[in-house]
Amino acid sequence: MTGHRGVPGRLTGAENGTERSGSGTGSVATIGYEGAAVQGVLAELQEEGIDLLVDVRAVASSRRPGFSKTKLAASLADVGIGYLHLRGLGTPADGRAAARAGEYDALRTIYLEHLATPGAQAELGALGDLVRSGRRVCLLCFEAKPEHCHRSLVAAALTPLLPDLRVIHLAP
């Protein structure tokens, strides 16, 4: 699939049922770093005007160079983008195992059960407040395809809090 600016795999506009927003209010972006370099992710975030990257991984470490919490936060700061790790919105271990096995229906079931917990709901509310405040927020996780990642479920869970929310899936 070809999306915005002809980048293969990018889902925007009519391709994913969302539209671009001229302002940060009412929109949230998502991005996965699978197969990407840090510089590609940073460039994409800058191009989209993102000012806060919200890491929704349960474990903010990575075997991919530059994507562990401390190094990623430093790289983001160097280009003027904030970093926030909302661990409570991460996928539980059994959900991560389901995703690695390609069992996306199981991932969805496990994650939605987790998302109903008080801790996850509190962090979802905090995320909603950030988006509502006009911050240009992007959710980060590993998987390249948003439909295979819980970050899409997080974005969908924001819609009851922000009824006019636009979701933009980025691809570095």
Question: Which residues of the chain have a pLDDT value below 70?
Answer: 1-25
For 70, the domain range is 4-166
Residue 172 belongs to some domain of the structure: no
**3-class SS at 55?**
strand
**What is the rounded CA–CA span in Å between residue 125 and residue 70?**
25
Residue 90 · residue 58 · CB < 8 Å: yes
pLDDT tens profile 24-70: 458 999 999 999 999 999 999 999 999 999 999 999 989 899 999 99
| pLDDT for res 26 | 82
Residue 102 belongs to some domain of the structure: yes
> Both tokens of residue 159?
């819609």
- pTM as predicted: 0.85
| pLDDT for res 21 | 37
**Total of domains in the chain:** 1
Question: Which residue do the tokens 């407040």 mark?
Answer: 129
| pLDDT for res 16 | 35
| pLDDT for res 97 | 96
Residue 171 belongs to some domain of the structure: no
| pLDDT for res 6 | 28
Which H or E element spans position 114?
Answer: helix 104-115
Residue 33 belongs to some domain of the structure: yes
Strands laid side by side in the 137-141 sheet: 82-85, 52-55, 137-141, 27-32, 166-170
| pLDDT for res 81 | 98
